[in-house]
Amino acid sequence: MASRGPNRIAARISRVKPSPSSAAADRAAALRRAGKKIVNLVVGEPDFDTPAHIRQAACDAIARGETRYTQNAGTPALRAAIATKLESENGLTVDPKNVLVTCGAKHAIFNALSVTIEPGDEVLIPAPYWVSYPDMALACEGVPVVLPCLEQNDFKLDATTLRAALTPRTRWLLLNSPTNPTGATYNAADLRSLADVLLDYPDVLILTDDIYEHIAYNDAPLVHLGKVEPALLSRIVIVNGVSKTYAMTGWRIGYAAGPADIIAAMETLQSQSTSNACSVSQAAALAALQGDQSFVKESVAVYRQRRDRAAALINATPGLSCRAPGGAFYLYVNCQGLIGKTTAGGRTLGDDNEVVMYLLEEKGVAVIAGTAYGTPGYFRMSIATSLDVIEEGIALMAEAFRDVR
């Protein structure tokens, strides 16, 4: 047998980068442990506690002894509740048999790509994108194809760009709304224009990442691509979860719903990898979906207040600007006015990475460079933290860039 040499890691994994958001959070944590005060505007998770009735449901499940394996695809009760949610909120009729409960929405996306991509298949990814999409495609031996979405178009994919990118190798379109990192939100007209293109390409699968759907600021009813164009439902995989809406990031419950063959293949893969999601977390997720929803409206109202205040402060800071996002809990800040300039200490800000590192090292403000999201010249800041922390962070940004020339 021929020697493979000293490298024991598969080539497909060598192409995958560690998550930039995790790396940024780790760097901020390391500086904090070293004694530096850090204003952390990195982490994309709610700063609220999981609602009490959801926590109590988990305790009750433990007391009932619901601590053993569940069905691989999830408990029948939770799968039925997800199907009911999709019907009542999204207008989508899905058989509970075609619902798979996963260990977070990221797990659902990875499994969907894993069971459908052959080497060389193309995955269309609008940019700015969630940092994990391209690397998930690479890990599955696919080819990520990045579709630039311009700020002047609210960072949304348009029909012309989509049509130009489609090829015989296209396997997937990944569509996230509201988006991470920009908060861009697709309305019915936006989705209609994309659907008209996709109808001409019947072999292209569509994954809708709806994890931020309830964190939206326009008070309009939820709109889904599958509702706008039901003819696409036979090739849409819907991904969602309870993490963002119900402040349940650590509970690790996501789900996928869609065509029977894809969901069945994902279930098979899951049976040989993670098996079922945590039984106690599933009980908590059931309570989240079926219980009091007042937390959702209350938390969104807080995020809206933070968004409005943060956007006003950013737009008053020389060298920075941002659009008020339609959803999610981030601001995507344009820092192109700082690129190429020099700080009072003689440091040249050559790109968005250097802007971000300057903020972190000189002022202790942690954000993530736009390069990680496929769009250099920006950075993402989270508003899933208190207004005091947001105001302190932006004040330090203004101080950092005051003497930049």
Kindly report the average pLDDT of the chain as a whole number: 95
Of the two residues 22 and 84, the one the predictor is more confident about is: 84
Quick one: 296 exposed, middle or buried, by C-beta within 10 A (0-12, 13-18, 19+)? middle
Q: Which two tokens stand for residue 230?
A: 């039901």
| Mean predicted confidence (pLDDT) in 29-48 | 89
C-alpha of 105 from chain center: 9
| Residue 373 predicted with pLDDT over 80 | yes
- Whole-angstrom Cα distance, residue 148 to residue 160? 12
Tokens found for residue 99: 């619902």
Return the closest-CA partner of residue 255 out of 265, 267, 246, 247.
Answer: 267
What is the torsional sign of CA 117, 73, 270, 274? positive
Q: What confidence score (pLDDT) does residue 3 get?
A: 61
As a whole number, mean pLDDT of residues 360-385 equals: 96
Strands 330-334 and 321-322: antiparallel
Note the pLDDT of residue 326. Answer: 97
Distance CA 93, CA 110 (A): 24
Pairwise pLDDT comparison (36 vs 140), residue with the higher score: 140
Domain 53-290 belongs to what architecture? 3-Layer(aba) Sandwich (3.40)
pLDDT (tens digit, 9 = 90+) per residue, 141-159? Answer: 999 999 999 999 999 999 9
So what's the pLDDT on residue 2?
59
Q: Structural domain boundaries of the chain?
A: 12-41+295-401, 53-290
Q: What is the DSSP-derived secondary structure letter of residue 348?
A: B
Question: How many other C-beta atoms can be found within 10 angstroms of the C-beta atom of residue 105?
Answer: 22
Of the candidate ranges 2-6, 230-234, 269-273, the one whose mean pLDDT is the lowest: 2-6
Over pLDDT 70: what percentage of the chain? 98
Q: Please measure the distance between the N-terminal and C-terminal CA atoms of the chain and give it in whole angstroms.
A: 62
User: What tokens does 22 get?
Assistant: 């995790």
CB proximity list for 199: less than 8 A, separation 6 or greater: 229, 231, 232
Least confident span in 46-50, 268-272, 343-347: 343-347
Average pLDDT of span 36-44: 91
The single-letter code of the amino acid at 115 is V
pLDDT of amino acid 11: 83
The CATH code belonging to domain 12-41+295-401 is 3.90.1150.10
Q: Work out the average pLDDT over 160-189.
A: 98
**pLDDT tens digits along 284-337:** 999 999 999 999 999 999 999 999 999 999 999 999 999 999 999 999 999 999
Q: What is the mean pLDDT of residues 85-90?
A: 98
**Which band of pLDDT confidence, cut at 50, 70 and 90, is reported for residue 5?**
low
Residue 31's pLDDT is what? Answer: 81
- pLDDT reported for residue 147: 98
